[in-house]
Amino acid sequence: MATVACSYTHAIALLHCLLFFSIPQAQQPQVPPSALNQKPCNTVSAIFVFGDSTVDPGNNNYLATPLKSNFPPYGRDFLGHLATGRFTNGRLATDFLASYLGLKDQVPPYLDWTLGASELETGVSFASAGSGYDLLTAQISGVIPVLHQLDYFKDYLAKLDLLMGRRRSQDLIRQAVFVVSAGTNDFVVNYLSVPIRQQRFNLQDYQNFLLHNIRDFLQFEEFDQQGLEELGAQKIVVVGLPPMGCLPIVITLNWKGGFGDRGCIQAYNALSRDFNEKLQIELRYLQSRFAADGGQILYANIYDPLINLILSPSKFGFADAANGCCGTGLVEAALLCNLKSIVCSDASKYVFWDSIHPTEKTYFIVFNSLRQLIDRAC
């Protein structure tokens, strides 16, 4: 596998971009409404989401962290042009999934204390932007580690028991779909940018460390703690890594070519592919044990649909796949993408909204590529 390196100077720049600081008329999102609300099955009761900013609808709004996006121009194309805390211009792939399953149009953040019974009973997201499978990844940004998101889920289960009764709540959990999406921050923000983990792990050992944490999250075997399986989950979808080398900020901090000729960093993409292969092997092993109880653990491949539209953007109606819509599109994210930023007039022409996160249109394409997998989860 190709060697991945990131200088300490790049690390500091990356963390600065991630952690610190005339919008045109909003365009209507170009997402075909006919593709949603089709409800492929009648057995899914709710959706529960764990992970990072790719699936965080606003939990970080309630945390003391600079990794927030509850301000314009984020949410510019969301319903009511609201900046909900989603790190994009509109909806996330999990919002499209919830709509497709006929549950609701958007998945709310669990930490929103105003949520009513109907919202709680149809599912919530526990995800926290900046998080990862490594506890240190979340500590860097002051957010909720993926492993600790299970604690919030346990709190949710106690509330659900009060709302519905123990038997009905157990039935709801068994019929729900669980989505887990994380890992990018563990490499881009943590291992490849901060020297702490490199002193303990080589790259292969760090991948194995993350895989061990994923196994614990799904099926805890140590210290009598409970993973998703022990907490009642029967339908779990684990999302693989994207082509990390194509994130605009990764290109900016690692590109050795000319300024006007920005290409993906192949070493990072090779790392994504390598980890995804190992993740699939791990999930197949867990599935072999999980199947005895009638459960499903499915792998969601987002690398291929993303790399396809990044390498051939015009085929999907995009004009730019190397820069974000917000600001210069090179480094802006979170507080750096703000009301003073120059923003593109039509986000649907861009693969990325800021230097890290996809646009709503990109999220929809990724969701659409996974519909057959979703049908299997039914």
**So which residues are the catalytic ones?**
53, 354, 357
Write down the residue that tokens 């563990």 correspond to: 186
3-class SS shares of the chain: helix, strand, coil, % to 5: 45, 10, 45
Beta-carbon count within 10 A of 342 CB: 14
DSSP string, 315-337: GGT-SEEEEESBTTSSS--GGGS
How many helical (H) and strand (E) elements, i.e. helices and strands, does the chain have?
13, 6
129 in Cβ contact with 140 (< 8 Å): no
3-state DSSP assignment of residue 235: strand
If residue 297 lies in a helix (H) or strand (E), which one and from where to where? strand 296-300
| Beta pairing, strands 47-51 & 177-181 | parallel
Which one, of 111, 107, 116, 110, lies nearest residue 55 by Cα?
107
Q: Are strands 235-239 and 296-300 parallel, antiparallel or unpaired?
A: parallel
CA 140/CA 203 separation, integer angstroms: 19
CA separation, residue 346 to residues 22, 26, 238, 323 (Å): 14, 8, 31, 13
CB atoms within 10 A of CB 311: 13
- For residues 90 and 116, is the Cβ–Cβ distance under 8 A? no
Q: What is the DSSP string of 178-231?
A: EEEE--HHIIIIIITT-TTGGGT--HHHHHHHHHHHHHHHHS--STT---TTTT
- C-alpha span between 255 and 250 (Å, rounded): 8
Using only the alpha carbons of the chain, give its radius of gyration: 19
